[in-house]
Structure 1
Amino acid sequence: MTHPVTADHTDCSSATRPASTRTRPRSRGLWRQPTPRHPKPLPLLSGSALLLDADGLVELCSLVARDFPGDPLTHERVLASLVATARAGRRKHIRAAVAERLGLTGFVVNVLENLLLRTTQTDPVPPPETPAGGFLTHLLVHRAATVIDALGHIPCLLSTPTHDDFRVAWRVFVDRAEVYEDSRSAALPADVAVALGRLNRFERIDPDDLPTVRIQGSDTTLDEVVAHWLVTPSEATRLVLLPEREEANRWVNRLAARMQVAGEESTVHHLLGLDDVWSREYRPGQAADRDRDAVAAFLPVADPVIATTLGEIPPAWTLLPNHPARPAAWALHALLERGAAESLQAFGHVAKVAVPWGSVLSLVWLQLAGTVDESERKSLAAHLIDGWERCAVTPEDLLTAWHSRWRSLLDPSRLDVARTLIVASREGALALVWPLLSEIIDDLAGSRGFTGTTATLLEEFQPLVAEVVAAQVPLDLPEVRALAKHTSTGPGVTAARRIVASMPARMSEAS
């Protein structure tokens, strides 16, 4: 199993700090501390931008019709706009626009379009009371369905993100709760669960700031749920390798068949009457027919063919940024079973919102780094740098993931991981990747399978050593030094000698 991340993510500059007593040689300045990137507000999801006239409803329906497989921001914009417009007394206009423009083919594989058809039903089917089964998407669809059914009866959504990292600012959350109190409305359980999955624990959160707001179907009030959430953290994430079973033979990758995520569960689901895999163990890719039926129960158009198309979709991956392990495990499953393209899509969505990344998402990055082709390395490095500048990933996270049992089992190419780390170094993340990069390079230098490809890698690595020396950061590359002492004149030995020559004398002469 992987180990939980223990690094402090409140300080972006957790990389090794250089000493200040030596004169720095000339360098490109690649060793730097991260430039903090603060999340940007989403004005499109607030205020008058959400109130739609007739033309706006036409545009919204057009947006929904094109939303396949699903865009997270579109999903949030549509729900928030429907709530605001219905609250302004235009629910009939919403129903008319949807009936005229959506669901016309009768075969609706677009989940958001299918959900909006609930607005045209006189008596929409209530949420099923049975457990949700194996889909992360279930909570997404549950939330959307109950919101659509409550149009005109709720003043706003508690969970609409306020910033581009899909977080909900505490002050805005309090303001929304006060609107609920003023209108004497009851909050929706799934809306509350998603909102708590988006609140930033690093903010000053005080349940006493909240008014008393009822929650539909619960004896617990909103402030009580928030108070419980604050004092009841999730258990540490565990990526478990289950015993092998005969049915694993049907899978492309047998490790994918045995993967299960435990820990990092929602600790408020039971208070809200919710039961899904966000609060239980999750086995990516293991959903059964009954799990698809549980999702299809919310969809007005759900014949057997459409039901078979249901699965994890992008808006589910950004649903609970405080719980990235489950969507990250889905990205790993997709990589092992379906290839890098689908995995990259899922990873990109999760990486942009998760703080911290945690052990599973860091593992996925390493596995992708050892799998993707050269054309994808720069974008993968950009995700890593973005996570670093959001204080979401540290050098310790990468090292922990690299030394985990799962990394040993998955065995990504050390050469390709090192190449991707070098790309990230050149883009400005040298301080982040150096501990892992130097370890891999030194390990390769001492391996028996030394090849010309490894020699080329050492040549690419050599300029980075000069950057580290210029930053006066201690470094130790014993296997590289040993390789440099060989009597041969091969390209690998030559590259090792150049690396040693760029190290301070006391380091290069060490035995």
Structure 2
Amino acid sequence: MDHWEEIRKLVEERRADRIAGRITTLDAAARKEVASRLPGLLKELRGRSDRWDDSLVRRGSALRVAGAGTLGGAAAVASWLYRRDFAPQWAGPDNDVNLVLAVIADRPAAWRADLAERLALRTRAADDRGMTLALTLLRETGVEPPAHDPLAAGWVSRRPARLAADPLLGHLLPRLFEAQGVGRALRGERNPREGWLAALTGLAETGRVERETLVEGCLRRFLLGGTANDLRFFVNLHEALDPSPEEAARHADDYLRLLAASPGPVATLAVRRLRGCDLAAADLAEAWDCLLFRQERTLVRAGLAWLDRSVRRDPALAAVIAAPLARAFAAESVEIQVKAVELALAHAAAMGEEGRAVVREAAAQLAPHLAERAVAALGDTPGDGEAPVFAVFAPPPLPEPRERSRALQPPPASAGELADLLEWRDDSWQSWERLLAGFVTLVVKDREAVTAALRPWLLGDSIWPSRGETWERRASRPPWLFGESAWPHQGETWERTDQWLWGAVRALVTAASGKGFCRTLMPSTDLPAPHRLLLHRAAEVMLAVGENTLPPLLLATPTHDTGHVAAAELVRRMEVVEAAGARPLAADLQQALLRLPRDPDSEAAARAARLTSPAGAILAAWTRPEAEVTFDRPREQGEPGPTPVITAATTGLPLADLMFRASRRRDGDGHLDWWPSTLPSHREVAAAHLVPYALVGSWGTRTVRLEQARDLVRAEGPVGEAFSTVLARTLGDPRTSEAADVLVEAAARDGLPVAEIGSQAGVLVAAGRIKVADLTATLDTAARLGAHESVWRIAAAALPTLLPAPGERSRTGLAGFVTLAATVAGWCGARGEIPEVRDLAARRGGSGLLREVRALHDLLTVGPAEKE
């Protein structure tokens, strides 16, 4: 057998190891012949493969080794090694690096150096398939690595074994602090006793690398900027190096430059180092000015504490603190404003007249009672009949509320649009409703076109997850989806609407019916009612596709982004179904009835009375049930709340009646974000279903989020304790930074149960479900956006629960909450004694909380004008 036939046979047998051994024995002419025949073999193998036959990929290593050992130029070898034909980008790291190195070992040094540089420049990411080969060749050849960011990121992505002896250390260590992608590759390195942190600090301890080089590198990286995630490793490395005060002093200017705009962890690091330095007064003033201008409350608090300690140690520094304190007066947090005022008053005497004038002028940014206290203590109180010398912040009026609902985007109008939506939809209920409606309508209209469009999706042509779909969800697509088995195995249940949709597509493309599986695939009856309704709607579509009984359209597809279906449109859809001689799907009809608006439409009612089908008669006779939500036992102090009970007249429709029964919390997602859209005219009932999730306190457990609260605010129907519980939980959740906007929108509408919201907020704080500081921050923002009257009533209702009883410790952040209450009470001109505030104000003591409580009590009972 000649050498080419032997190489060809070994490629067919996928014996890359034997190819490597055989090639090393070939002379130049034989290698040239093999190189000339390889493209033809590749073309032949490609022709024998189809999209789902990975025989070419499985022979990739053999082809790579054969090409590396026989092709002439370094450029040709670099291109051949990473052809996507036999080694697609997602195939994982190379497993044949040693074989490739073996077949090129006898090439000239300059050739191998050229190949090393070409391979290095071809890398595009830290986990690039060719990274290992490129790094190994660079080490072996000793050539200087190119200044290529992915190469540096790939270097640090490998374990730093024997780093001191690595030939690349001198070249790539400086790039570690400059190349983009390095911080992202190392962001998981947190333990200073292992990994790259231990390796680099070890090099510094042994003298292999100068400590100053690493410290300067970290600072240089901080000054280049980046996100907190990108800089996390360098923060950890800097802290592991732990520069001494003397070392930090040499870089004081760099640390000062980091205070104004660097991410929080970097600024915190800079504060820690600067506090150990002997800084001039001008530098201290610059540092405090930068810190007190920032948005992060922790950094502002650190700046105020640093300022206070420094001035107490050296009173002469009071001459430079006026401008930084004036910055803090403009903080959004009332707690920060209070602390800044206290410091201004404590150091007023040493501040000088010029400094006091700066602070008096800045007092215009404070809440009225704080501004009055600051200006009075700084010696500029107006006399009788004189106007104040400062302007009081006036909160804006409530903005006009956003229109309650807007038209929902229509479903896809063609099979191509349907396939695109299926591939790229997000995880919202709006996308799901559009997808389901488009699927049903288009399958009835042109079943063949939809089958052709969705067949590649079913078979897995799309390897990437849909937008909003996690890799976990993508990996959970059932095996039968890709043809591995006819239908799911016994005992499996489907708890996600996507699974039923996959089943519908499967039934469409394969003409297989899942009728015998529907009952067993539906989860047990302990699912919450909204979740069960969603699954039934998806399941009946799958069943109807398999039995070819789909109606021409769905009835329940919302016409508005609140989830409502306009009455006139629902009647029109029913007319279309009747004209086609079809029957609407049962769950779809019941969901459509639950989505009708509360406002009657007499014209639509008259048209509904002329419908002739049984489903039309149900629609014509439909009367919206009025539900009452109560709780099964009285709420007790410190408890998050009892289980809601829903009472409503039965409708005779099983799924509709199920929606008016309370749900208990169940682990898992359950499409929680979609639930308000299933009951847009019964928001208190929708909130009752969410209450068990609002009371969850552990991290990692699904709870209500901003989207549900916003949907409830825009829905229709009476509100009560359930609605208030959900909204209160959202107001105190630190992960919902836009919760203030939801409260402002709710306040702009009539009927917001502010007293109940405040009461529920107090209960949630007492139960440990939310924190006072998070609740204060949200209410503070909402008050400054115009909802100050609602915020005052919420705060007044929460105070009786939040204030400590005799002998009880106060909660962290409570003084700031009381200060906020006093601020909004001043804006509203609120008066009237609160017994719990009165009793606490009468206690002995001088804590910050007691001072704020007394100020609030005086404001409510005496008023500023009557104070002595």
TM norm structure 1: 0.68
Q: Is 2:478 the counterpart of 1:125?
A: no
Distance 1:195 1:101, change over 3 A: same
The equivalent residue for 2:331 is: none
User: 1:18-417 residue pairs with structure 2 within 5 A?
Assistant: 28-30=393-395, 32=397, 35-45=400-410, 50-53=412-415, 55-63=416-424, 70-87=427-444, 89-102=445-458, 104=460, 106-107=478-479, 111-112=497-498, 114-121=500-507, 122=511, 123-125=513-515, 128=519, 133-135=525-527, 136=529, 137-148=531-542, 149=544, 153-204=550-601, 207-213=605-611, 220-225=614-619, 227-230=621-624, 232-234=625-627, 236-240=628-632, 260-263=643-646, 267-268=650-651, 270-271=652-653, 273-274=654-655, 277-285=658-666, 311-321=670-680, 322=682, 323-332=685-694, 335-336=696-697, 339=700, 342-344=703-705, 347-348=708-709, 351=712, 354-356=715-717, 357-370=719-732, 372-373=733-734, 376=735, 378-389=737-748, 391=750, 393-398=752-757, 401=760, 410=767, 412=769, 415-416=772-773, 417=775
* Root-mean-square deviation (Å): 4.2
Distance 1:386 1:36, change over 3 A: closer
Q: Distance in 2 between matches of 1:422 and 1:274?
A: 42
Q: Distance in 2 between matches of 1:496 and 1:274?
A: 52
Aligned length: 425
Q: Deviations over 1:363-399 (max 9, x none)?
A: 13324545x33xx363233333333445573324425
Determine if contact 1:331/1:346 at 8 Å carries over to the other structure: no
Give the percent of matched residue pairs that are identical in Structure 1 and Structure 2.
20
Determine if contact 1:318/1:350 at 8 Å carries over to the other structure: yes
1:433 to 783, 791, 807: 791
Distance 1:379 1:97, change over 3 A: same
Determine if contact 1:158/1:195 at 8 Å carries over to the other structure: yes
Which structure exhibits the higher relative contact order, with contacts defined as CA atoms closer than 8 Å and separated by 6 or more residues? 1
Q: Distance in 2 between matches of 1:487 and 1:279?
A: 52
Amino acid at match of 1:134: D
Determine if contact 1:156/1:176 at 8 Å carries over to the other structure: yes
Distance 1:60 1:479, change over 3 A: closer
Amino acid at match of 2:608: L
Determine if contact 1:72/1:315 at 8 Å carries over to the other structure: yes
Distance 1:214 1:433, change over 3 A: farther
Q: Which has the higher helix share?
A: 2
Q: Deviations over 1:144-196 (max 9, x none)?
A: 23235267842322211111111122232233233334334322221121112
Amino acid at match of 2:573: R
Q: Deviations over 1:6-59 (max 9, x none)?
A: xxxxxxxxxxxxxxxxxxx976453745633223433522xxx63114x32331
Q: Give 1:438 shift.
A: 1.9
SS at match of 2:588: helix
Q: Distance in 1 between matches of 2:400 and 2:702?
A: 29
SS at match of 1:210: helix
Q: Distance in 2 between matches of 1:196 and 1:56?
A: 28
Q: Give 1:62 shift.
A: 0.9
Q: Distance in 1 between matches of 2:621 and 2:643?
A: 30
Q: Give 1:492 shift.
A: 3.6
Q: Give 1:101 shift.
A: 0.7
Q: Give 1:328 shift.
A: 1.1
Q: Give 1:103 shift.
A: 5.9
Q: Is 2:825 the counterpart of 1:465?
A: yes
Determine if contact 1:41/1:163 at 8 Å carries over to the other structure: yes
Q: Distance in 2 between matches of 1:31 and 1:325?
A: 30
Q: Distance in 2 between matches of 1:58 and 1:437?
A: 50
Larger Rg over CA atoms: 2
Distance 1:368 1:339, change over 3 A: farther
Determine if contact 1:395/1:432 at 8 Å carries over to the other structure: yes
Amino acid at match of 2:562: D
User: 1:421-500 residue pairs with structure 2 within 5 A?
Assistant: 421-441=779-799, 444=802, 447-448=805-806, 449-450=809-810, 453-469=813-829, 473-477=830-834, 479-480=836-837, 490-496=847-853, 498-499=855-856
Distance 1:353 1:124, change over 3 A: farther
Q: Distance in 1 between matches of 2:448 and 2:649?
A: 36
The equivalent residue for 1:306 is: none
SS at match of 2:632: strand
Q: Distance in 2 between matches of 1:264 and 1:354?
A: 20
Amino acid at match of 2:525: G
Q: Distance in 2 between matches of 1:336 and 1:138?
A: 25
Distance 1:63 1:445, change over 3 A: closer
Determine if contact 1:354/1:392 at 8 Å carries over to the other structure: no
Determine if contact 1:51/1:85 at 8 Å carries over to the other structure: yes
The equivalent residue for 2:370 is: none
Determine if contact 1:385/1:424 at 8 Å carries over to the other structure: yes
SS at match of 1:237: strand
Q: Distance in 1 between matches of 2:500 and 2:421?
A: 14
Q: Give 1:134 shift.
A: 2.0
SS at match of 1:343: coil
Q: Give 1:79 shift.
A: 1.2
Determine if contact 1:500/1:508 at 8 Å carries over to the other structure: no
Amino acid at match of 1:329: V
Distance 1:240 1:445, change over 3 A: closer
Amino acid at match of 1:456: G
The equivalent residue for 2:302 is: none
